[in-house]
Amino acid sequence: MNDEARLQSVMNMAANSSVLWMTAVVTGLAGGEEANNFYEAVKNQQGKTNRNISAVPQELLDIHAESSAYMTNMIEALSAEKRAELIEKINDESYTVILNSISNTDFGLPKITERLECEVLAKYLNMLNDQRLCEIIESVMIATKDLDSAE
């Protein structure tokens, strides 16, 4: 994967994971934003809430759209030096491990490294009882939390 494709994949997985995390917290699918283990936060809420999410709440879709646009604009506005720094960050082994994990895990849906439609995000939300998905989301959230420091 070339640097530009990797950059787009990382930005997509960051935006998608953020909206999944926030929606899980807001809709009660997860027990709290401060949970140390996202899967445990989701597992602890099973049976306490309606687990069939047919649609991502509009306000979170708006946040997702804003987040995606922000990341795209941020990348386009970077100086050559800052862009090189960002590419160096995402070429770190931790991103390779996450990208490989996503690539090698089949959920029967488009990968979270792609731009996802609302319906696909809702399907992912209904799969949060899958520990593999929760571990991927958690690892993405941890790895990408400092990406905006490249500005």
Distance CA 69, CA 55 (A): 21
pTM across the whole model: 0.77
Is it the case that residue 36 has pLDDT exceeding 60? no
Tokens (6 digits) for 122: 């809702």
Give the Cα separation of 45 and 37 in Å (integer).
Answer: 13
Residue 47 pLDDT exceeds 60 = no
The amino acid sitting at 27 is T
Cβ-Cβ contacts under 8 Å for 10 (sequence gap 6 or more): 90, 95, 99, 113, 144, 147
Residue 54 scores a pLDDT above 70: no
Predicted confidence (pLDDT) at residue 9 exceeds the cutoff of 80: yes
User: Whole domain around residue 60: which residue ranges?
Assistant: 3-150
In the chain, how many domains are there? 1
CA 121, CA 12: separation in Å to the nearest integer? 12
Which alpha helices (H) appear in the chain, and where do they start and end? 3-26, 38-45, 58-77, 80-90, 93-104, 118-125, 131-144
